[in-house]
């Protein structure tokens, strides 16, 4: 079944228009349509088709690989599975599906070799067995030949794939629908039922096209309405929003806190010790269970120095260096840095902002960050404590929510914190927590019976004395503030797990941590005060998944690969990929054509008959056959001499009947075990010589 001419070309051009690959589309369309006018054909064997199909599979694999590389698909898939809430999962799903769309858009190119091979082959379909790799292998193992049938004519399936790919790339353009309809109508027009009049056919088509147009419009509007509704419902459940305006803690929540063991960061000390805490964001205002910043911190831009990859965070130098590697989503990231970080190197980002909350945000960064950070003791980033506008109001860095006053005040009195200096108070509070509190991420149901009048924090401080880092951090901040020392709540990461044999540390998702920073008036810095009982690390490790060693291995490989990709191999690796591909295709084409030529030279035949010296192979008759072959009248492999002569007789003016008279002699020489007598052989020789003489006298025999 041949499609009407220019149909595939139209589909391909539509696809090219939509995907922006018009040059490729034009080239492919020309190659495919030219097959109608060019008579040159290649006799593809099954194994040649196998090679071509394998090439297509390879192209698909490479395309997928390329997609994964450029679109960061693995990360998207990982995000999709690790997402803790609906919003992030659905956004991850969106990006995964977009990547898939892009991959599918390439399908016309990926399948092109197979379709072109079919168009330029002597067959009109590709054997189905070529597409079944394992069946092929099995047949080869069993020594059976690969069946030619059933065969698949790729034309219309390819047409469908091209249209499908064009649809995926649709740039939301009304024209697209009508052009698509026109292309499909072209196909339908050729195959239309003839028993209806053209008018009816056209009217029906217009009706269907109209219905389709309004139908898909309605559908898309319905989708918008539905999406809005769903977004409304979902936003109520969203637990942790992506920005750093606030941090909702699990204070007061009951049950097991589950954090995954996925590795989010590698920390590699270069000079000096490894920083034990990496700050992400500071918060100053607590509304149980939420920490936020008030007033909303303003951002200031940091400009790079040198070659544009070094960013001075603080205007001082430090002596320690550490390398951090982590992933950025779509080029955006909030950097988690050791306190006292002064300079960030090896970061090719577009812009960097620092906020009063000490947050460092980068945009237009590579998807994988591999930073070199200079850090050391001394002033840290983050604005100094908030000074109230008047004496009547209290600084936000000293504010304690009313509900927590009772419990915090009671403990502060017990510890005698009032009037103490920062470091002393810190010591007292640290000892207090170390001696009286235990770490537990599991909050039992008994918490439901929090006594009347007690907040979750109060219950933690006075009765339960067991909780996770958010309790410790919040309580510490409150106690410091009660002592009159400005303090803030910090969200970040704890670095504690050395990776075996590498000298690096890994930071897992469950190492997410919160602690307190207080303002040291003398040094004018924010000092870390982590009061969470040190057994929390071991405690959390118990929750490690059984599969963790396995996922760690994968994660390590992925980190290594990402590092190589973004920061290792400089140069246009994409170009190398393309070059390798072109070379591969060229090699395949050369092999197929070379084998073809060899086969033609050898003369084709199915059986490899042993070169037995059968009788009469020296017959003079073969001279006649050679002569006729040179005239373009060659004998087909399965054709007997008699049939051959009968077939070519109307095709030539050469005296075929004369040959037919010689045939019985030749046959006797060849197939009669008794053979020819001497005179008979002489007659054959003479007859052949005579015929060759006559044929020479009559050149230009072909009609």
Q: At what angle do helices 573-602 and 46-71 cross, to 10 degrees?
A: 180
| Binding segment (CB under 8 A) for another protein, from list 90-98, 317-325, 666-674, 694-702 | 666-674
Establish if 149 lies at the interface with another protein (CB under 8 A).
Answer: yes
Establish if 606 lies at the interface with another protein (CB under 8 A).
Answer: yes
Among 23, 389, 609, 697, binds another protein (CB under 8 A): 609
Establish if 123 lies at the interface with another protein (CB under 8 A).
Answer: no
| Binding segment (CB under 8 A) for another protein, from list 154-162, 421-429, 653-661, 672-680 | 672-680
Among 228, 522, 612, 703, binds another protein (CB under 8 A): 612
Establish if 626 lies at the interface with another protein (CB under 8 A).
Answer: no
Establish if 635 lies at the interface with another protein (CB under 8 A).
Answer: yes
| Binding segment (CB under 8 A) for another protein, from list 76-84, 142-150, 291-299, 336-344 | 142-150
Q: How far is the CB of 203 from another protein (least distance, A)?
A: 37
Q: How far is the CB of 622 from another protein (least distance, A)?
A: 9
| Binding segment (CB under 8 A) for another protein, from list 280-288, 436-444, 668-676, 693-701 | 668-676
Q: How far is CA 683 from the centre of its chain?
A: 78
The separation between the first and the last C-alpha atoms of the chain, rounded to the nearest angstrom, is 32
Looking at the Cβ atoms of 152 and 184, the one nearer to another protein is 152
Q: How far is the CB of 644 from another protein (least distance, A)?
A: 8
Looking at the Cβ atoms of 133 and 590, the one nearer to another protein is 133
Among 636, 686, 690, 694, binds another protein (CB under 8 A): 636
| Binding segment (CB under 8 A) for another protein, from list 37-45, 146-154, 180-188, 583-591 | 146-154
Dist CA 19 CA 13 (whole Å): 10
> Binding mask 90-109 vs another protein (x if CB under 8 A, - otherwise)?
--------------------
Q: How far is the CB of 625 from another protein (least distance, A)?
A: 8
3-state secondary structure of 363: strand
Which pair of structure tokens corresponds to residue 267?
Answer: 């920390």
| Binding segment (CB under 8 A) for another protein, from list 311-319, 384-392, 486-494, 599-607 | 599-607
Looking at the Cβ atoms of 602 and 696, the one nearer to another protein is 602
Alpha helices in 83-150 (DSSP H): 86-105, 107-119, 133-142
Looking at the Cβ atoms of 303 and 609, the one nearer to another protein is 609
Dist CA 11 CA 180 (whole Å): 8
Task: Please give, one letter per residue, the 3-state secondary structure of 367-419.
Answer: CEEEEEEEECCCCCCCCCCCCCCCCCCCCCCCCCCHHHHHHHHHHHHHHCCCC
Q: How far is the CB of 610 from another protein (least distance, A)?
A: 9
Q: How far is the CB of 135 from another protein (least distance, A)?
A: 12
Q: How far is the CB of 49 from another protein (least distance, A)?
A: 14
Q: How far is the CB of 673 from another protein (least distance, A)?
A: 5
Looking at the Cβ atoms of 227 and 643, the one nearer to another protein is 643
Long-range contact pairs involving 561-568 (C-beta distance under 8 Å, separation at least 24): 562/325, 562/327, 562/367, 562/368, 563/325, 563/368, 563/370, 565/69, 565/368, 566/366, 566/367, 566/368, 566/370, 567/346, 567/366, 567/368, 567/370
Residues 674-703 that bind another protein (CB under 8 A): 674
683: left (phi over 0), alpha (psi -120 to 50) or beta: alpha
Establish if 637 lies at the interface with another protein (CB under 8 A).
Answer: yes
Distances (CA, A) of 89 to 83, 84, 93, 541: 5, 7, 6, 26
Establish if 122 lies at the interface with another protein (CB under 8 A).
Answer: no
Looking at the Cβ atoms of 419 and 610, the one nearer to another protein is 610
569: left (phi over 0), alpha (psi -120 to 50) or beta: beta
Looking at the Cβ atoms of 145 and 549, the one nearer to another protein is 145
Which residues have a Cβ under 8 Å from the Cβ of 564 and sit 6 or more positions away?
none
Q: What are the two backbone dihedrals, phi and then psi, of residue 534, each rounded to the nearest 5 degrees?
A: -65, -10
The total number of residues written for the chain in this structure: 703
Task: Please give, one letter per residue, the 3-state secondary structure of 161-202.
Answer: HHHHHHHHCCCCCHHHHHHHHHHHHHHHHHCCCCCCCHHHHH
CB 505 within 8 A of CB 499: yes
Q: How far is the CB of 652 from another protein (least distance, A)?
A: 18
Q: What are the two backbone dihedrals, phi and then psi, of residue 373, each rounded to the nearest 5 degrees?
A: -115, 130
Instruction: Compute the radius of gyration of the chain from its Cα atoms.
Output: 40
CB 302 within 8 A of CB 313: yes
Among 39, 141, 150, 703, binds another protein (CB under 8 A): 150
| Binding segment (CB under 8 A) for another protein, from list 88-96, 301-309, 555-563, 634-642 | 634-642
Establish if 144 lies at the interface with another protein (CB under 8 A).
Answer: yes
Establish if 605 lies at the interface with another protein (CB under 8 A).
Answer: yes
3-state secondary structure of 232: helix
Establish if 643 lies at the interface with another protein (CB under 8 A).
Answer: yes
| Binding segment (CB under 8 A) for another protein, from list 141-149, 314-322, 360-368, 456-464 | 141-149
Eight-class DSSP state of 567: I
Q: In this structure, how many other beta carbons lie within 10 angstroms of the beta carbon of residue 235?
A: 11
CA 59-61-64 angle, to 5 degrees, is: 105
Establish if 641 lies at the interface with another protein (CB under 8 A).
Answer: yes
Looking at the Cβ atoms of 108 and 127, the one nearer to another protein is 127
| Binding segment (CB under 8 A) for another protein, from list 49-57, 169-177, 228-236, 637-645 | 637-645
Establish if 147 lies at the interface with another protein (CB under 8 A).
Answer: yes
Binding site for another protein (CB under 8 A): 144-150, 605-607, 609, 612, 614-615, 625, 635-644, 667-668, 670-674
């Amino acid at each position: 079944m041949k499609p009407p001419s220019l149909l595939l070309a139209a589909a391909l051009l539509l696809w090219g228009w939509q995907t922006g690959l018009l040059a490729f589309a034009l080239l492919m369309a020309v190659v495919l349509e030219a097959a109608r006018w060019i008579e040159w054909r290649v006799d593809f064997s099954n194994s040649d088709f196998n090679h071509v199909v394998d090439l297509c599979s390879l192209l698909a694999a490479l395309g997928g690989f390329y997609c994964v590389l450029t679109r960061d698909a693995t990360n998207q898939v990982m995000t999709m599975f690790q997402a803790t809430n609906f919003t992030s999962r659905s956004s991850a799903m969106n990006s995964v599906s977009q990547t898939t769309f892009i991959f599918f858009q390439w399908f016309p190119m990926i399948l092109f070799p197979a379709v072109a091979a079919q168009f330029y082959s002597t067959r009109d379909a590709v054997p189905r067995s070529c597409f079944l790799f394992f069946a092929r292998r099995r047949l080869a193992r069993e020594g059976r030949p690969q069946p030619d049938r059933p065969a698949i004519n790729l034309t219309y399936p390819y047409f469908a794939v091209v249209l499908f790919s064009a649809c995926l790339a649709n740039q939301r353009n009304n024209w697209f629908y009508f052009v698509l309809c026109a292309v499909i109508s072209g196909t339908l027009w050729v195959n239309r039922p003839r028993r209806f009049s053209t008018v009816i056919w056209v009217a029906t088509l217009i009706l269907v096209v109209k219905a389709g147009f309004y139908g898909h419009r309605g559908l898309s509007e319905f989708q918008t309405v539905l999406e809005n509704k769903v977004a409304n419902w979902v936003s109520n459940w969203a637990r942790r929003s992506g920005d750093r305006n606030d941090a909702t803690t699990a204070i007061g929540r009951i049950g097991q806190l589950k954090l995954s063991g996925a590795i989010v960061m590698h920390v590699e000390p270069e000079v000096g010790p490894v920083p034990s805490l990496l700050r992400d964001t500071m918060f100053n205002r607590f509304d149980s269970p939420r920490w936020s910043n008030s007033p909303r911190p303003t951002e200031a831009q940091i400009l790079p120095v040198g070659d544009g990859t070094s960013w001075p965070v603080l205007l001082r130098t430090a002596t320690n260096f550490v390398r951090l590697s982590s992933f950025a989503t779509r080029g955006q990231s909030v950097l988690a840095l050791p306190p006292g970080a002064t300079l960030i190197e090896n970061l090719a980002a577009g812009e960097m902002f620092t906020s009063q909350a000490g947050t460092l945000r980068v945009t237009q960064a590579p998807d994988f960050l591999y930073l070199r950070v200079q850090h050391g003791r001394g002033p840290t980033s983050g604005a100094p404590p908030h000074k109230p506008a008047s004496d009547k109001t209290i600084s936000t860095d000293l504010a304690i929510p009313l509900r927590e006053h009772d419990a915090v005040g009671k403990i502060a009195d017990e510890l005698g914190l009032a009037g103490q200096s920062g470091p002393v108070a810190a010591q007292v509070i640290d000892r207090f927590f170390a001696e009286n509190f235990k770490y537990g991420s599991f909050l039992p149901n008994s918490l439901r019976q929090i006594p009347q009048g007690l907040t979750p924090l109060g219950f933690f401080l006075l009765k339960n004395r067991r909780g996770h880092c958010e309790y410790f951090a919040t309580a510490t901040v409150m106690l410091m503030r009660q002592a009159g020392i400005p303090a803030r709540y910090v969200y970040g990461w704890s670095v504690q797990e050395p990776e075996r044999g590498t000298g690096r540390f890994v930071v897992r998702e469950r190492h997410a941590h919160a602690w307190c920073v207080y303002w040291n008036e003398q040094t004018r810095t924010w000092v870390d005060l982590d009061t969470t009982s040190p057994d929390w690390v071991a405690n959390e490790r118990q929750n490690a998944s059984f599969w963790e060693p396995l996922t760690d291995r994968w994660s390590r490989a992925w980190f290594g690969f990402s590092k190589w990709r973004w920061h290792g191999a400089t140069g246009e690796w994409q170009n190398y990929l393309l070059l390798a591909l072109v070379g591969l295709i060229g090699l395949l084409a050369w092999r197929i054509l070379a084998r073809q030529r060899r086969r033609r030279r050898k003369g084709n035949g199915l059986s490899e008959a042993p070169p037995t010296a059968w009788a009469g192979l020296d017959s003079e008759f073969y001279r006649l056959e050679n002569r006729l072959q040179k005239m373009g009248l060659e004998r087909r492999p399965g054709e007997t001499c008699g049939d051959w002569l009968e077939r070519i007789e109307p095709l030539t003016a050469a005296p075929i009947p004369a040959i037919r008279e010689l045939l019985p002699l030749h046959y006797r020489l060849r197939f009669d075990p008794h053979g020819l007598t001497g005179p008979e052989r002489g007659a054959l020789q003479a007859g052949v010589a005579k015929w060759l003489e006559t044929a020479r006298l009559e050149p230009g025999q072909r009609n």
